[in-house]
Structure 1
Amino acid sequence: MKSNLIFIGMPAVGKSTVGVVVAKRLGMQFVDTDLLIQEQEKKLLREIIEEVGEEGFLKIENQVNKSVNVENSVISPGGSVIYCEEAMQHFKDIGIVVYLQASYQTIKRRIRNPKKRGVVLREGQTLRSLYNERVKYFEKYADIVVCEDRCRIEETIENVLDKIAKCKK
């Protein structure tokens, strides 16, 4: 039985915000795997990335996410978890993957400064190219897609709850 919900999507789609409320409304636990990584490494995410680089960070992210062993939980991993094949396969095995989808315009409006937001961009990479690169992964792994363009947070939460209820029938 897949008892967990895993929220994926770009930074600023509300994986944590929506996730916490959905968990409360459904009587589930909430797990933010970025916090698990920081706890394990005893450093902030950006400090880890500065020290070990993006590849090193992805190794840590994969290891932490693939070892998440919970039930009846809403799990909110970092946006780059989709590059971690083992972690994503684990999430598909233990839950329903919910892609919180937003257009590039919506993301751009919400993330004014990607660096301050902790968005990892490779040398010369733009937010637009990162968005384009990740969308195909989000679509590949998603069991449920919830579009949140022109939605207030409350509407997104209701849309997620509706789709989950339909999926569990």
Structure 2
Amino acid sequence: MPACGKSTLGRHIARRTGLRFVDGDRLIEQREGQTLAQLLAQRGYLGLREAEERALLAEDFSGVVLATGGSAVYSQPVMKKLHRLGPVVFIDVTESELAKRLGNFAERGVACAPGTDLSALYAERQPLYEREADVRVAALDRGEQQLAEEILLAAAEWQQRQSDTKE
């Protein structure tokens, strides 16, 4: 979801691990030469999702902490690629907390159908995030450092489970 903390936590984790951080939204903007809001206005939400899919499929994210845009979950090819690279982390934030963080939802450049409000988007995406998540962390009432540590621990446990199933 937008404003759940993907980029902030991704930067913390990258610093902690020494890995490079990539912000998927910035990657799209660099590749397309426009902001997400401009892309959304010109191409519509499906055009923005297509730009995101192209950007995420074109890059090699091995050894990278990647914060995707919230709509990456709609692309099965992208999700398949991400699952091969490492754990897919779902930062679970309540709808009310997202509303506080987002401010003006319409100006954010969120890839959703015209007229969709935060409640509808939350209801649509939440089950997708739950389905695709290898690791899920609840973000309420914890600081960034604590959440980053929790994600790192959960990712290590996930990695161990993957190793155990391959043996």
Task: State the TM-score, normalizing by the size of structure 2.
Answer: 0.89
Please name the residue that 2:57 is paired with: 66
Matched with 1:3 is none
Separation in 2, partners of 1:102, 1:62: 24
Task: Give the one of 122, 126, 138 matched to 2:129.
Answer: 138
Separation in 1, partners of 2:25, 2:9: 16
Letter in 2 for 1:89: K
Q: 1:25 aligns with which of 16, 22, 25?
A: 16
Q: Give distance in 2, aligned partners of 1:121 and 1:163.
A: 30
Q: Secondary structure of the residue that 1:96 maps to in structure 2?
A: coil
Question: Deviation per CA, 1:78-130, whole angstroms, max 9, x where unpaired?
Answer: 11111122111111122210111111122122122212333344233220110
- Equivalent residue number for residue 44 of structure 2: 53
Q: How many residues align?
A: 160
Higher helix share: 2
- Runs of 4+ in structure 1 off by over 3 angstroms are none
Distance 1:123 1:46 in 2: 13
In structure 2, what is the Cα distance between the partners aligned to 1:168 and 1:122? 36
- Greater fraction of residues in strand: 1
Unaligned runs of 5+ in 2: 161-167
Which of 69, 82, 87 is residue 78 of structure 2 equivalent to? 87
Q: Is the 8 A contact 2:19 2:63 kept in 1?
A: yes
State the SS of the aligned residue for 2:98.
helix
Q: 2:97 aligns with which of 99, 103, 106?
A: 106
Q: Is the 8 A contact 1:34 1:45 kept in 2?
A: yes
User: SS where residue 12 of structure 2 aligns?
Assistant: helix
Q: Considering only aligned residues, what root-mean-square deviation do their CA atoms show, in Å? A: 1.4
Q: Which of 151, 156, 161 pairs up with 2:152?
A: 161
SS for the counterpart of 1:123 is coil
- For structure 1, the 5+ residue unaligned runs are 1-9
Amino acid at match of 1:85: Q
Identity of aligned residues (%): 31
